[in-house]
Structures are given as C-alpha cells and as structure tokens.
Structure 1
Amino acid sequence: MLFQTLKYSSLIIYILFLSTSISISQVNTVVINEQFNDNSNYWDVHDEPQSMLNMLNGKYYMEGKMLGRAITSTISTPVTENDNFKISVELTKLNGIDDNGFGLIWGGKDENNEYEFVISGNGQFKVIEWRNGIKKDLIAWTFFSDIQKWDNAKNRLRIEKRGETIKFYINDNYVAVVHSAENMGNRIGFVINETMEVEFNYLIYEKIEKQSTAVQQTDQVNITDVNFTGSSEQPELKYGESTVLKIKLENNADFQVTDLALMISSSDIGHAIEYNPITMIEMIPAHDQAIISVSFAADEEVETMNHNFSIMLMDGKNNTLDSKKVSLKTIGRSNYYTENNNSNSNSYKNNSKSDDYKYKKSNNNSSDGCTKGCAYATLGALLVGLILAIIP
C-alpha cells in the first residue's frame, strides 16, 4: 500500500499537554502477541517494484524501493474507541536513508487515515496524524539522544493510551504526550518511508483495565539548581566532546505531580550542538526532588561562541511553573589548536560519535553527500587534469 509522503522539515519543538488522570491500579490483557513465527494475522507479503514485504525467521521485513513513497502494512485488532491500550514494538533499521521515518501505526482505517509514531536513522522522532490523505504533525521532528542511530540499530517504541492522553516511549524513556485523538479505525502496524529496509522483531498489543483518580495541579514545583557537570563560572565544551546539564526540581506540594516537561531552547540552535529539547517527567512524589540530566554534545563543526539556553518547566495544563537561563561556551577546532599552539590536527584523537556523524552525513544520498553520479564526475575531472598535465 502506497501513498505520497514528504521529506520532513527542520526541527520544530512542539508538544501538547492535557490535564488527565493517573492509574492507581491496572491489569493488562494481551490481545495480540505477534512474534512473526507464522502469518496467522495475515500480514501483507509481496515483492513488487515499489516495495518488498516478507516474513522470515521470526522477523517481518519491509523494504522501500522508491524515493518519495511510504510503505504501510497493518492488521485489524478488536479495538473499541474508549479502550485504554499499550502497543510495543522492537525494530531494526538495516540500511537506507537516515532522514525520514519508520515505526508504528495505530488507530488506522486505511493508509490515508491513521496515526504514526516514527523515528529516523539520525536520531529524531515524530507523531503524525493522516486524515483523508492530509498530514498533520502532532509532534514535529524532535531530537532524542537515546535513539540508536544509523544502520543496524535496534530500538523499542511504545504507545500507552490512558483516559484522554497518549504517551510515547523510546527505549523505555518517556518522550512525549498528546491529546487522545479519536481512533479512525482498528488497524495497527508499521510504516517505512522511501528507500530503507527495516525488520520488526515483535508487535504486542495490550488492553489496559484501570481505575483512576484525578490529577491535582500545582504551582509548587520549582527549578532549584541548574549547572553543567564539573563546570566553572563559565562552562566550556570543546568540539567532539560532551557534557551534562544537571537540573534539580523540587515538589513542595502535599501530593505527587505527573506529566511535567522540561523544555530547553536557544536562539543559537543549528550550531552543531546536540541535546534533547524536551525531557518528560512522569512523576515527582510529594515533598520530593528529582534531578534531570541532559547531555550536550558538540560535533567537529562547532564554532567558538557563547550559547544562551532558556529552560522552562511546564505542567499538564501547559502552564509555566518556573524558568531558568544557563550559558555554555563552545570551542571550535581552529581556536582550540591556536590556543594550544599546535596546528597538527593528527595529534588529537577525535570523538568516535562525531566521526560517525560526519561519515553518515557525507554518505547520505538524500542530503548534500556525493552520489554515484558525483563520483563519476569527480573521476572525469581527474582524467581531464591528467590529460592537461601531459600536453606540452
């Protein structure tokens, strides 16, 4: 099944909150436990010019063969509109482009009416609503450092619907929450975009029976401390290295608080620093504290400059509970060598993560990397140069 898809745009930080209820007891009933040992659930299997879908050795394989196309495969489930549920999947991107999504479908009627929770090979996630073939981003592309990146990387995705909210998890990390959108149908399954190959190891659908109590909102949660690990008054981050921002939160209320979000933003975004712009906090007990760690990594192309970051703590009604500011100075390669009076770049060992990032970036055909045609053009230019060199 095919439908037109678009390349994702630049990172937009966007999250939806809703005052909701929390479970005080729950029992999960496994409705579907798909281990792909047989095709009793009637998954699509085919080999066509646009795509290949296959089930082999306890895995379900999906391969897209065309740019600008998405491939979906879904099965029906005994889902009702008001069901609370949990959907879990383990998936591995085997090869292909890194700048588009692959992942879960739920609440679907057909390929033009469904919801998608996808990740990309370069470490971002997104939540999408398709309605009558029109796409709406519920959560736009957002970087998350715990996504395993590039080819042969295995990740786990999970969706949990309780009451009026749907929560999203990546590798057991709570990453986002949105309003509970009305199911358009009872189909769940998988989606991949464009030219990539992905294997799915399992798909588990559980129905959640629960009792609940209303969440109490409070403004008694504060950011009490913000600092970079081991930093001085002016923390510094050198190219190819990483540091950790520690954010201490304190709940002074007489009850636990849930579904908080720390949002970190900067006007300097795009200057070769990776960090999680959104960190979800599921719960802080009454009169207790939480310490949130956010990793900041500078790649090889970082510039020497000062970066100012704004940190906002948001509650379940999208209210700002507290805010702080923090600064970080990055030191680029050229400045570091100048300051150390050493111009020999080979004497410094580069961070392997940054090397991998540059390698993937330069070899990604959908970005500015060189394709096969470019390689032939380079070879042609070299031959012309040699001919000119031997002409007297």
Structure 2
Amino acid sequence: MSKTLSCLAVLMGLALGLTGCQLPLTRLNTPPSGSVLFQDDFSSPTGRWQMTLEDVGLAGAYKGTFRFLVKAPEVQIWSTPGLEFASARLEVDVARFGGPEENRMGLICRYRDPENYYFFIISGDGYYAVGKVTQGKPVLLGQEQMQYSAAIQTGWAINHLRADCVGNTLTFYVNYLPVALVHDDDHTTGDVGLLAGTFEQTGVDVIFDNFIVLQP
C-alpha cells in the first residue's frame, strides 16, 4: 500500500515526536457477494485444468463437459484449475455417464496438494459426505460414514452441487437443498476443483458441466 510523502515523514520521525498526519484508509478490494470469481462450461479448452491419463483412470475435457473415468478400486482422481481462494462458493452440475451407481463425484476446496484439501461428494445411489484430507489421511466431518439423502437424484440424473467454504464453516447443498454443515480449521486457503472415485467396483464414469466459483 502506498503512502503520501508527508505520512512517510511521520512514520520515519515517530521517535522525534512528529504528529499531525493521518494515514489514509485502505479500502479492501473484496468483490460483492455473488460476484463470479471463475467459471467454465467446458465448451472450449482453457488449459487451466489438470489432465490425468494413467492406468488407474483418466480426467479431461470431453464434448463440452469434464469427464472422469476411474479404472481401479478405491481410487480418487481430481482436477484443479490452478487458482487460490480463502472463502468461496462452488457450484457444478454432475451426472453418472457409465459404470456403477456406487461411486464418488463432487467438489473440492482449499486444495494445497494431494495430501491436504476438503471434499464434498455424492454417490449415484443417493449418499453424500463432507470430509478432509490432512497430511494424506482422509476423514469424514460430522459423520462416520456416507449418509443417504432424498435430495440426491439417483441413476443417470443430473445433480446440482454447491459447496460453501467460508471461514471455518463448510456447507454442502445438493439440488439447492442443504444436506450438511460442519466446522473445521485445518485448511484456510487453496485451489478448487472436481473429483471422482471408486469404492470396490471399478469403471466409475462421470461428467461435470457448468462449474462456477462465486464470492460467498
């Protein structure tokens, strides 16, 4: 932040008892609530998202969506656009494209590295969870296992997901209905993104569209 020359003189001469200058107020450049911070409908490649092409699965742009295909059991794959936010509201549309209903698909926030982030997931058979990975250890928050919610559309239906990461409060919405609210202090800032994963059955295939990050 720049200061006027007269105020600099005051700061440098405090020991001499100089007075009579007031430092200018600093206006915080925080976008208003609801402002779009980032969005991608995947209609054309932006080069921001991490692509995955490995034996365990793949992630990348596919016909105007972002697709995950997970080929190994008990594996989670994610992609991030290389951004950083402290507080953010994430929204996306997701649908099962193939594979078993028992899957994982959702959002992540405050991603620092593969061993530290928060996740918000649903499954194709109607279950949800909010959790974190800290130093590589995954833990669910506010629940011991994934919980069923009638808000989740099962089968091949499209689900609209929203995750609010604001301060130490994490709120998860499915199809505009709140399903979970938890508090945690471990992760304070980081990237945002998408994820998909398997349980015992392989071949999880999901697509995402209309990803948006808003100022909460």
Structure-1-length-normalised TM-score: 0.43
Q: Please give the per-residue CA displacement for 1:174-209, whole angstroms capped at 9, x wherever unaligned.
A: 11111153435421111111220010012100113x
Q: Please give the per-residue CA displacement for 1:70-118, whole angstroms capped at 9, x wherever unaligned.
A: 11111222413xx3x2110111111222334211111111222111100
Which of the two has greater helix per residue? 1
Q: How does 1:1-392 map to 2 (within 5 A)?
A: 27-80=33-86, 83=87, 85-140=88-143, 141-150=146-155, 152-183=156-187, 185-194=189-198, 195=202, 196-208=204-216
Contact 1:147 1:170 in 2 (8 A): yes
Contact 1:76 1:186 in 2 (8 A): no
Q: Distance in 2 between matches of 1:164 and 1:67?
A: 32
SS state of the match for residue 38, structure 1? coil
Q: Distance in 1 between matches of 2:75 and 2:131?
A: 16
Q: Distance in 2 between matches of 1:110 and 1:184?
A: 13
Q: Which amino acid aligns with 2:135?
A: N
User: 5+ unaligned residues in a row in structure 2: which ranges?
Assistant: 1-31
1:191/1:27 Cα in 2 relative to 1: closer, same or farther (>3 Å)? closer
SS state of the match for residue 27, structure 1? coil
Contact 1:90 1:203 in 2 (8 A): yes
Partner of 1:314 in structure 2?
A: none
1:128/1:161 Cα in 2 relative to 1: closer, same or farther (>3 Å)? closer
Task: Give the Å deviation of 1:153.
Answer: 2.0
Q: Distance in 2 between matches of 1:41 and 1:128?
A: 28
Q: Distance in 1 between matches of 2:35 and 2:66?
A: 24
1:181/1:38 Cα in 2 relative to 1: closer, same or farther (>3 Å)? farther
SS state of the match for residue 75, structure 1? coil
Q: Distance in 2 between matches of 1:118 and 1:200?
A: 13
Contact 2:84 2:110 in 1 (8 A): no
| Number of aligned residues | 179
CA RMSD of aligned residues (A): 1.9
Contact 2:49 2:82 in 1 (8 A): no
Contact 2:93 2:211 in 1 (8 A): yes
Q: Which amino acid aligns with 1:173?
A: L
Q: Distance in 2 between matches of 1:143 and 1:93?
A: 17
Task: Give the Å deviation of 1:164.
Answer: 4.3
Structure with more contact order per residue of length (Cα contacts < 8 Å, sep ≥ 6): 2
Q: Distance in 2 between matches of 1:138 and 1:198?
A: 24
Task: Give the Å deviation of 1:68.
Answer: 2.1
Q: Distance in 1 between matches of 2:154 and 2:142?
A: 20
User: 5+ unaligned residues in a row in structure 1: which ranges?
Assistant: 1-25, 209-392
Q: Distance in 1 between matches of 2:137 and 2:54?
A: 26
1:100/1:55 Cα in 2 relative to 1: closer, same or farther (>3 Å)? closer
